[in-house]
Amino acid sequence: MKMSLVVDGLRGDVISVGELGDETVADVAERIGEVLSRSIPSRILDLLSEVAAEVSAELPDGRVEIRVAGDDVDLAYVESPSAGGTGPEGADDGGPERDRDMSARITLRLSESLKARVEEGAAREGISVNTFIVRTLEHAASGEHRRKSHGGNRLRGYGTA
């Protein structure tokens, strides 16, 4: 689904209603449409997240993921590894994350450039954006990145000028 089609349609509806009034009403409708066009995508993703969570709770051997790439939003069924999933979707859920309750949610507001880098990283690894973000947060929260880089920035030996 193209998110922009939904956003543009709703914005157009608001502007059309505003045109029923005078110039002031039309200007206000235009401004309301602009505000809505910025907030509607996150509202749609919130709604789709709720739907995916509810459907996933009813599935015996898998879950539904929301995959966002630019303007495209897709729902994807991911078979759980214990159900015999051997594809890349099943492979990205291995390890301790698989047994944890993954029902907590958070809404993030990101710059477009950071969002693009996250999407590129997820695509590069062949995993969903959500899985990429969870892995990145777990890595950062575990302190592994600090342990690995500790000493890596130290200068060793002697230098001459």
pLDDT tens-digit map of 89-139: 444 444 444 445 677 778 888 888 898 898 888 888 878 888 888 888 888
More confident residue, 147 or 60: 60
**Distance of alpha carbon 82 from alpha carbon 85, whole angstroms:** 7
pTM of the predicted structure, to 2 decimals: 0.48
Distance of alpha carbon 136 from alpha carbon 98, whole angstroms = 16
The pLDDT score that the predictor gives to residue 87 is 43
**Taking a C-beta distance cutoff of 8 angstroms, is the pair 10, 36 a contact?**
yes
Provide the pLDDT confidence category of residue 20 given band limits of 50, 70 and 90. very high
Contact in structure between 79 and 140 (CB atoms under 8 Å) = no
Give me the pLDDT at residue 80, please. Answer: 76
Rounded Cα gap, residues 34 and 12, in angstroms:
10
Burial 138-153 (b: 16+ CB within 10 A, else e): eeeeeeeeeeeeeeee
